[in-house]
Structure 1
Amino acid sequence: MPSEPNTYPGYRFPAEVIHHATWLYHLFRLSLRDIELILAERGVVVSHESIRRWCLRFGTDFAAKLRKRRPKPDDTWHMDEVYLKINGELFYLWRAVDQHGVVLDILVQERRNAAAAKRFFKCRLAGLKYEPRRIVTDGLRSYGVAQREVLPGVQHRTSRYLNNRAENSHRLTRRRERQMQRFKSPEQAQRFLSAHAMIYGHFRPRQHLITADQYRRSRNKAFRTWWQETCVPMLA
């Protein structure tokens, strides 16, 4: 007899449906109603509001599990900030990526001064047992103040052109911001972008740095890890 499908406590839909909806939302530029239609074509009748709650509830959890399994990043961190307009007010999205453009951390804040830079540095270092060898930033002086106080032994390189890796990683945020018709609150932006960066990056290795065969192996490994961490039985 076929075994009963795995379920999450308190949810009537199988775990495989919930994890697939969350995967679709974070990997592709699909609206909640788009995902509702995709699931309906497969015989799963669920409202877009339920899908929204799934993504809120499980996106952060799935991202946290993937973060624990991620290998140690390279020793050069690129940091940059970009503005977000939320309910008519300006906020700043601080982002750190490694030298291959893999997103390491993000933080939404109201300011871009030295105090905000120090808060971002401390947020990035929280729980880590290592420090980068070098950080690369643009010309914002707040980074220099934070580096001297929080990471005094780390080399700090300031360059508009060397920091393209961090600046380019903002493009994905801009696309999702437009697709979602802007973020509704700083908390929503922080919650979504933190989960999105981790889940999206887990399935999107830097393909230009590896061969096609390496990419396929990396993709298969990413799927195995995803199935394990989302409590969905792996396919035979």
Structure 2
Amino acid sequence: MNPFLMSLFLSGPMPKNAHMAEGEQFREGLVASIAHFDRERAQQAADLAEQERQQVLALFPLESWGGLELQQYALGPEGRRSGLSFCRLMEYGTDNFGSIRGGSAAKHIVYQHRSGQWRVVPSALRGLEVEAAWAQVRSEFVTAFDVAQKGAYKPLDDLESLSYGQALTTKALAASPASSCPSSRRRTSATSPGCWAVGPAGTPPVCARGGPTVICSNSCVRSRSSKGGVRMN
């Protein structure tokens, strides 16, 4: 036998590497979480999320988007003065539905800086007046809602402006009526209460559309049952 192999054989079992140890810790933590899963608390969280989703639809029904004004949509001083804008509601008023708090305001695609200056994120729109840029973004939102209702998500990849605000876009799609989990090559992320399903007693929630516990396939991400929720920036 090769002397090196002989020395390994005589030295006993090989020590576990860091990846093996991390894997065991993850499995142990998962088993413990499942054992202590609170179905009632998860259902309460799902109910709160659904209430917030209904609020979004009541304040910003899909049929209103074709004529939605920039001030009604955008985050910023003018949006605050005109009431609860769509972007402010999505970032700060619907945490149970799925948090996109923090990070850069660029996720809103078009927004107003606290200085009052309007900022347009998509590079193809930066040479336009802000109202013209908003008209293009609004048109893409209308298209996105339409294809989402039809369950035809492939065209979403062609909506260039919305690709600059993946978190906001996917959360907006998740809030739309009868929406299913949107999938994109850009791997967007959002939280959708429609993906929650409470299983038999003593079992954790699973994705109602066939995804695994906690994390659904593609863009539907975890429930709010854990402290802190989900961050998508």
TM > 0.5 between the two? Answer: no
Q: Tell me the TM-score normalized by structure 2.
A: 0.26
Please tell me whether Structure 1 or Structure 2 has the larger radius of gyration of its CA atoms: 2
Q: Tell me the TM-score normalized by structure 1.
A: 0.25
